[in-house]
Amino acid sequence: MTMLVLKGIVKTFGNFTLRADFLEIPSGRIVCVKGPNGSGKSTLLNIIAGIVLPDSGKIFYNGIDITYLEPEKRRFPIIRSEKGIFPHMSVERNIKIAKRVDDNELNRILDLLKINHDDLEKRAGSLSTGWKIRVSLARGLASAPGVILIDEGLDHLDPWYIECCLKNLMSYMREKGIIALIVTHRDDIGCDETLVMINGLASLETKRNT
Ligand code: ADP
Ligand code: MG
């Protein structure tokens, strides 16, 4: 089974140390990442994305050691904030730049994110924050990711979108076997479980959310 496994991960910045002794996340699992400011949530996502290298420990995906694999080769897109989009490019270019799915699948993704045909021509920089996050999510999903890392992005979505479509987005990721790690302050995301970060220590809560 496809899985993301972190073993003995340690990363120190000055007097802050992140530790993830053992985390095992199966395919299609949606994990909410919670914890106070400065507890290491973003660092954990950056380590999984390959943007930050751990001082020690290993990361496996699909049984393969990817600890030192370049971020571009992991296909683990990270959605941080509206800054992830290319403002001078059209919505379409922003999404297609990383496209690996076929056109039918892309249409499904656009529908899930409520991006219609006319929207594709708009300049991405002119859009609202909630819109930019949806464009980033579309790009991430269109890359056929193994893992998607969302660092507070969902917290900036418009309430109407959360209401109509967030559940469908989650169902889509489960259907595709995508592992999602979602840093969020919201409690209505519908995650399968919660990963709690406290003072740099990561632990997966065994109790499942609904
Ligand atoms: P969170 O996302 O939970 O708010 P972060 O992972 O951003 O926490 O930060 C955890 C700690 O690591 C903080 O003390 C922060 O200052 C430190 N830190 C994060 N990235 C770096 C870096 N690139 N260089 C130095 N310190 C960093
Ligand atoms: Mg953060």
Regarding the beta carbon of 43 and ligand 1, being less than 6 Å apart is answered yes
Average pLDDT over residues 74-103: 94
Q: Length of the chain in residues, anyone?
A: 210
Given a cut of 80, whether residue 209 has pLDDT beyond it is no
Distance 84 CA to ligand 2 centre (A): 15
Report pTM. Answer: 0.95
Burial of 156 (0-12, 13-18, 19+ CB in 10 A): middle
Mutational pocket test of ligand 1: of 37, 43, 53, 183, the residue with most ligand atoms within 8 Å of the beta carbon:
43
Alpha helices (H) along 85-200: 91-96, 103-112, 129-142, 159-175
Given a cut of 50, whether residue 77 has pLDDT beyond it is yes
pLDDT digits (tens, 9 = 90+) for 23-56: 999 999 999 999 999 999 999 999 999 999 999 9
What number does the ligand 1 atom closest to the CA of 43 have? 6
Question: What is each CA distance from 2 to 64, 79, 128, 143, 208, in whole angstroms?
Answer: 10, 22, 36, 18, 20
Distance 204 CA to ligand 1 centre (A): 20
Query: Which residues lie closer than 8 Å to 78 by C-beta, 6 or more apart?
Result: 45, 46, 49, 51, 84, 149, 150, 151
Instruction: State residue 2's pLDDT score.
Output: 73
Mutational pocket test of ligand 1: of 9, 15, 33, 42, the residue with most ligand atoms within 8 Å of the beta carbon:
42
Nearest ligand for residue 35 CA = 1
Regarding the beta carbon of 41 and ligand 1, being less than 6 Å apart is answered yes
C-alpha neighbours within 13 Å on the C-beta side of residue 68:
2
pLDDT digits (tens, 9 = 90+) for 99-136: 999 999 999 999 999 999 999 999 999 999 999 999 99
Given a cut of 50, whether residue 80 has pLDDT beyond it is yes
Average pLDDT over residues 169-194: 96
Regarding the beta carbon of 40 and ligand 1, being less than 6 Å apart is answered yes
What number does the ligand 1 atom closest to the CA of 46 have? 6
Residue 90: which region, alpha, beta or left (left: phi > 0; alpha: psi -120 to 50)? beta
Regarding the beta carbon of 132 and ligand 1, being less than 6 Å apart is answered no
Nearest ligand for residue 46 CA = 1
